[in-house]
Amino acid sequence: MDPKLTEVSQYFERFKAACVREDIDTSANLLSQLKVLLTSFRSLPPLFEVTPNAVQELTIARDIYEHAVLLSVKMGDQDAFERDFFQLKPYYTDARKRLPRSPQEHMILGLNLLRLLVQNRIAEFHTELELLPAESLEDPCIKHAVELEQSFMEGAYNRVLTAKQTVPNQSYDYFMDLLAKTVRDEIAGCSEKAYDFLSINDARQMLLFSSDNELLKYINEEHPEWEIKDGSVIFQKAKETAPCKEIPSLQLINQTLSYARELERIV
Amino acid sequence: MKETPDPASAPSNSATSAAPDLKEIASLIETGAYAREVRRIARAIRLTMALRRKLKTSVVSAFLNFALTPGSEAHSRLSSYLPKEDDHEMEVDTATSVVQAPVKHSLPELEIFSYLLVLIFLIDQKRYSEAKACSSASIARLKNINRRTVDVLASRLYFYYSLSYEHTGDLAEIRGNLLALHQIATLRHDELGQETLLNLLLRNYLHYNLYDQAEKLRSKAPRFEAHSNQQFCRYLFYLGKIRTIQLEYTDAKESLLQAARKAPIAALCFRIQCTKWAVIVRLLLGEIPERTVFMQKGMETALRPYFELTNAVRIGDLELFKSVAEKFSETFSLDRTQNLIVRLRHNVIRTGLRNISISYSRISLTDVAKKLRLDSPNPVADAESIVSKAIRDGAIDATIDHAKGWMVSKETGDIYSTNEPQMAFNSRIAFCLNMHNEAVRALRFPPNSHKEKEIAEKRRERQQQEQELAKHIAEEDDDEF
């Protein structure tokens, strides 16, 4: 076999072992070495040359990047995730005809969708979704992300939180925790507008805190305008003073001026 | 350089009337090329399109013999695409070509026009692989010609090039070529070509659902006033599609409705597509399209699934929505609107909620959950969070009483005492004024008209007219008093 290929495979084995051991530093080092070694292969994107070992090289490169993506999830580094995922994507799309399907493909695609959801990049979420063929939508990992997005849009936040239990893969946990935080902020925002007041117990339950102290700390930090009076949280509704009938004069002036200008132009 | 072929000596050996028409078109192209008037060539193309149905192999080969020097490279290549059906026709052709003056300089315009004619003929006959080969040859030939008068013909060629590849399912192959052609067109300031190629590229990307790349191209490509109404309509349609997927529904609605309005009446399928997407975008925005939209002439059967979908959304019934979506799922996946329909679920719930909030002044959350028919394990908690989100988004005006578990709607005030009518009027006025400005800008005057010297007679006439007009206006003013 090609000596370069053997070298890469050996490094790859050590890399995989380090990942399993949860040894983040060694894994990161080995990963950078592997990436440098991969640049010597000419059959990889963007060149896509046809060399005799092309299929093996492509497969190894793809596996390396998949592990890199999972490693970045463990490290909690979202930028690294994005970089590695973008490098991985051509293997799924353009090289689809040359390689057999990877078993982890759907899992990683689902992970990416979840990441976009957590970062609130909904437009990109949908664009990515369009690229998937109809059969992929049946896959549990991807279905999970799609249903999560729907619940998020509809506002059924409790469903989002229960979905945490039904996670298809352990690496999803990191993003689900981030999502829980976002959801909590959303619930707080909605409750503010929807309720006049809530008892402390109810507020604690809705915002998923385990004790009253945590709730009070959260309110102090994030929402100082809420008042806490005899065992209930009162949301700031005092802003509803009599709306003084202001005439938006600047806007009216602008509009009337534009009418006059356009009418003058008519010959 | 000029050697006009003698039209009188070229007999029309085909019985159809297409052959002399083609010769007229050829002469039109020649005069246009020599006078450098692009509009004549555009007219020639329009006449050709009208002749499409009458094209037959004999007609096309006769034209080729007429327009191109037989034995030249272009002629042999193009003739090879035509099937050699009737031998005796070919004999007559060779006879005529001998009769004609053999020295004939082929104009590049005529050559490209012949390519175009053969290509149209092949595509109409559904011989797509041959059309592919022919169009690739023509594109290669086009790269060497750099004349403004060829631009109009060239943009048509690009279109059929892309069409032939699309029918054979190989669109991805030509993406690189199209990008290179777009670059060349930009360098040569060929605006019509740029427009056409940009649309073809967008179509290419959207065919494979690569919305991201399409948007990147569209945002970076140079923009200018549209030269061709059809290309502008296509551009608006693709733009609307991209914006819909990116969740920018207001922009999308504008583009799609404009595309549907500007499209020529004959383009029925295009308008149907625009209307379908426009309906979905309006549903996603929360407004219900009127029934007349679905009852437009010729569109009723095609829009039927969308009509039932609108009904389901209007009533706010989740079960009905699910059943309609399943019933027409093949239509939706053919139109590639499947993912958008999934997004509509949220709108159905919202509309249902709005109906409930308007009808009840106070309703318990369990009843809300029952009416919305949310199929989930914990409907009351779901309903509560959905209602609170709807309140936060401003869709309904209400408050929730958590302890007692019900939703209390607020009174809606009098709309006329707010600024709402003013806003509505303003948008309508702005639209009318905009339309007026665009119409004025679209006026076209024949070129060189300002260069004509006014002859003394004409000047006297004009002055007389102006005097009469002034008197007339003065009289009118007097009348008012």
Which residues of A sit within 8 Å Cβ distance of B? 122-124, 126-127, 129-131, 134, 146, 150, 153-159, 186-187, 189-196, 198-199, 202, 248, 252, 255, 258-259, 262, 265-266
| pLDDT on residue B70 | 65
How far is the first Cα of chain B from the last one, in angstroms, to the nearest whole number?
70
* Cβ pairs A/B, distance under 8 A: 98
Q: At what angle do helices B128-142 and B108-124 cross, to 10 degrees?
A: 160
Residue A194: half-sphere exposure toward Cβ, Cα within 13 Å: 27
| pLDDT on residue A18 | 82
Is A265 in Cβ contact with B437 (below 8 Å)? yes
Helix (H) / strand (E) element for B398: namely strand B398-401
> What's the gap in Å between the CA of A125 and the closest CA on chain B?
9
Is A255 in Cβ contact with B426 (below 8 Å)? yes
Is A193 in Cβ contact with B391 (below 8 Å)? yes
Dist CA B254 CA B249 (whole Å): 9
| pLDDT on residue B253 | 93
Kindly list the residues from chain A whose CB atom is less than 8 angstroms away from the CB atom of residue B403: 199, 202
Residue B201: half-sphere exposure toward Cβ, Cα within 13 Å: 24
Residue A164: pLDDT above 80?
A: no
Q: What are the DSSP calls for B293-314, one per residue?
A: HHTSTTTHHHHHHHHHHHHHHH
Kindly list the residues from chain B whose CB atom is less than 8 angstroms away from the CB atom of residue A262: 433, 436-437
Q: What are the DSSP calls for B409-476, one per residue?
A: EPPP--GGGSSHHHHHHHHHHHHHHHHHHHHHHT----TTGGGSPPPHHHHHHHHHHHHHHHHHHHHH
Dist CA B465 CA B450 (whole Å): 19
- Sheet containing strand B398-401, strands side by side: B362-364, B406-409, B398-401
User: Position A169: which residue type?
Assistant: N
Dist CA B231 CA B196 (whole Å): 6
Dist CA A228 CA B56 (whole Å): 87
3-state SS class at B65:
helix
Pair type for strands A232-234 and A227-229? antiparallel
Among B269, B249, B250, B270, which residue's Cα sits nearest to residue B259? Answer: B270
pTM, two decimal places: 0.76
Helix, strand, coil shares of chain B as percentages rounded to 5?
75, 0, 25
Q: Which residue has the higher pLDDT, A89 or B72?
A: A89
What contacts B276, CB < 8 A, 6 or more positions away? B302, B303, B306, B335, B337
Task: For A182-207, write each residue's pLDDT tens digit.
Answer: 888 888 888 888 887 788 888 877 77
User: Position A135: which residue type?
Assistant: E
Dihedral pair phi/psi, residue A166, rounded to 5°? -95, 30
Q: At what angle do helices B249-262 and B229-245 cross, to 10 degrees?
A: 160
User: Position B351: which residue type?
Assistant: T
What is the per-residue burial (b if ≥16 Cβ within 10 Å, else e) of B69-98? bbeeebbebbbebbeeeeeeeeebbeebbe
| pLDDT on residue B133 | 83
Q: What are the DSSP calls for chain A, one per residue?
A: --HHHHHHHHHHHHHHHHHHTT-HHHHHHHHHHHHHHHTT-TTSTTT----TTHHHHHHHHHHHHHHHHHHHHHHT-HHHHHHHHHHHHHHHHGGGGTSPPPTTHHHHHHHHHHHHHHTT-HHHHHHHHHHS-GGGGGSHHHHHHHHHHHHHHHT-HHHHHHHTTT-SSGGGHHHHHHHHHHHHHHHHHHHHHHBSEEEHHHHHHHTT-SSHHHHHHHHHHH-TT-EEETTEEE---TT---------HHHHHHHHHHHHHHHHH--
> What's the gap in Å between the CA of A100 and the closest CA on chain B?
21
| pLDDT on residue B451 | 58
Is B245 in Cβ contact with A130 (below 8 Å)? yes
Among B206, B183, B204, B119, which residue's Cα sits nearest to residue B156? Answer: B119
Per-residue pLDDT of chain B (481 residues; tens, 9 = 90+): 333 333 333 333 333 466 677 777 788 878 877 777 777 777 888 888 877 777 777 777 777 777 777 666 777 777 777 766 444 344 444 444 433 433 345 677 778 888 888 888 888 888 888 888 888 888 888 877 777 778 888 888 888 888 888 888 878 778 888 888 888 888 888 888 888 889 988 988 888 888 888 888 888 888 877 788 888 999 999 999 999 988 889 999 999 998 988 888 888 889 998 999 999 999 888 888 888 888 888 888 888 889 998 988 888 888 888 898 889 888 888 888 888 888 888 888 888 888 888 888 888 888 888 888 777 777 788 888 888 888 888 778 888 888 778 888 877 666 677 777 888 888 899 888 888 888 888 887 777 666 555 566 777 888 888 888 888 887 776 655 4
Dihedral pair phi/psi, residue A233, rounded to 5°? -100, 120
Residue A237: pLDDT above 70?
A: no
Residue of B nearest to A159 (CA): B382
> What's the gap in Å between the CA of B361 and the closest CA on chain A?
15
| pLDDT on residue B413 | 66
| pLDDT on residue B16 | 47
Is B426 in Cβ contact with A195 (below 8 Å)? no
User: Position B431: which residue type?
Assistant: F
